[in-house]
Structure 1
Amino acid sequence: MIDLTDIKLSNAQIAWRAAQDIEDGAYVNLGIGFPEMVARFQPPGKQAIFHTENGVLDFGKAPAPGDEDWDLINAGKKAITLKPGTSFFHHADSFAMVRGGHLDVAILGAYEVAQNGDLANWSTGKGGIPGVGGAMDLVQSAKRIAVLTDHVTKSGAPKLVAACTLPLTGVGCVTRIYSSLAVVDVVDGHFVLREKVTGLSFDDLQALTGAKLHTEGEVRDLICPKELA
């Protein structure tokens, strides 16, 4: 097994890289857990408008520890702050926004992503998210679906695969994957490698990927700030 200890990106670095691609003024939903970190890394001169399924739009950053108002939370039950113009609405209206195609980007985690863009990010197993929830609406309705994930499981098995073996969240929905080792697009039913971490060869990356990696022109180095909280 390839030792990835000093090569792979941290979760914060993956979130930082994903944040760089969010357009200024985009309406963005961040999945529960790891994807919520994207909100910390808005590029200078750009500001996304964040949406949460429980009915808040354009909320602010997390409050300092001890300053939380637990009436103000996102869908992941994390405390949020208000900004001028923050709005509140019923969760049914929130899902009407989702299903109506009003979100530009949805960013989610994943257990598996298939080369045709199928996504599996929920599980009926012990310790898993107990149901598919609103993710099934998000992945079929947002204009762009991005996934943040480790490139392999804890046991070293690929998470980018030829076909998903776990229950699907959505079919043919993923457009870009930001992994701990690479940035990969889904194009015409196959994976196209755009960026990879330095210190890892293409052949080694391919060995850690469960489907063929294609290239179209230059594969850029995947470089992120070293120290991110």
Structure 2
Amino acid sequence: MTAPPSPHMLFGSSKPFLPPPWTTTDDRLRGGSSRSYLTPLSGNCARFHGHLDTSTLGGAGFASQYSPETDGWDLSGYDGIELIFREGDGRIYTLVLRDEESLGKRDDGREKAGINWEAEFRASELVGEEADAKGQSTVWLPWNYFEATYRGKEKKDAGELKTGSVRRVGIMMRSYFDKQSGDFSVVLKSICARKENGEDKGRVAGLLLVEAKSASSDSTKGNPQRSTEEAKKGWVQWLLRL
């Protein structure tokens, strides 16, 4: 029996988040006032933090950081992305993958828009059962959880995520039209691609919510694909009720 491939560490552990510097992409590019930062910490961790201002754009707002572009990570032998946090704030974040080469910059210096593959998750506050014995929290994002977007809107004709050539990773805080605002902060310990394991069903997108647990109940056991899809629906329904 062939052993599963070792996890592919993108950032964290022996591969520090910084340097080289990440690219800041905040709503200030569109006239907003939000700000984000990625600050290196000891142990090759990094803090993604800033302030989400929804007053300037009438309830809209986003703040994000993107890793430098690579020649392409081949992640096709894995089942998804694992995020490990040392600290969280209980808010909803988005992990972004880009599988196409950058389109360059516009005349005003901004990057030209391309297709993003986005997956939302909750960054646990690490209280009670939400933290493991190491004082950290794990979020599991299977490939089928990522959805294509273009300029923040769903892109249904984008095809499939090219897991064999992932070029960049990003992390975003967005307002969901004034549902989230103010200061935010989360400490990332690592971002890696790996094979799925038996504990991942309860970790999809940080689903430690009642709605998510019920969505992954006995009615979906025996069908991992259905379990993930039902859990995702429960997550979206909870988000819309914020």
**Between Structure 1 and Structure 2, which shows a larger proportion of strand residues?**
2
Superposition TM-score, scaled by structure 2 size = 0.25
If asked which structure has higher relative contact order (CA below 8 Å, sep 6+), I would say: 2
Superposition TM-score, scaled by structure 1 size = 0.26
